Amino acid sequence: MAADASKELVVPQAEAKHYAAMQSAPRFPLHLAVEVMSQSGACAAETQNISANGVLFAMDRDVPVGSMVDFTIMLPGDVVGSRCNIQIDCHGRVVRSFEDQGRRGVGVVIDEYHFERA
């Protein structure tokens, strides 16, 4: 058991720098209703902030770190300077999960996305 206690999780330096760079992307406080699909099913969520790299959701259910998720964000045209709403279909992975005021905060890195005019 003493040998197990001495083991530490070591994050490669390149991976740590990549995560720091993702965290430094400007975040925009947009609160939009979204349905997040994971292996355990669909769950209603609300975006808390959005960046070029990812999204922070407020949810009533936990989605474990490492889970793959799919979701669609509908950006109102007036927010993005367009005459019509913009639909962004996203595929990503959960990198953070925590409790926040009785709800779950779930941070997702967007790995793939596709824009559509709504």
Q: What is the CATH number of domain 26-117?
A: 2.40.10.220
Question: What b/e string do you get for 8-40 counting C-beta neighbours within 10 Å, with b at 16 or more?
Answer: eeeeeeeeeeeeeeeeeeebeeeebebebebee
**Which tens digit of pLDDT belongs to each residue from 80-106?**
888 999 999 999 999 999 998 899 999
Residue 117 confidence (pLDDT) above 80: no
Give pLDDT, residue 24: 67
Supply the pLDDT for residue 108.
Answer: 97
Number of CB atoms found within 10 A of residue 60's CB: 11
∠77-118-34 over CA atoms, to 5°?
Answer: 80
Strand residues in the chain grouped as ranges (E): 33-38, 41-50, 54-59, 68-75, 86-100, 103-117
pLDDT band (50, 70, 90) for residue 61? very high
The share of the chain scoring above pLDDT 90, in percent, equals 60
pLDDT tens-place string over residues 9-20: 444 555 444 445
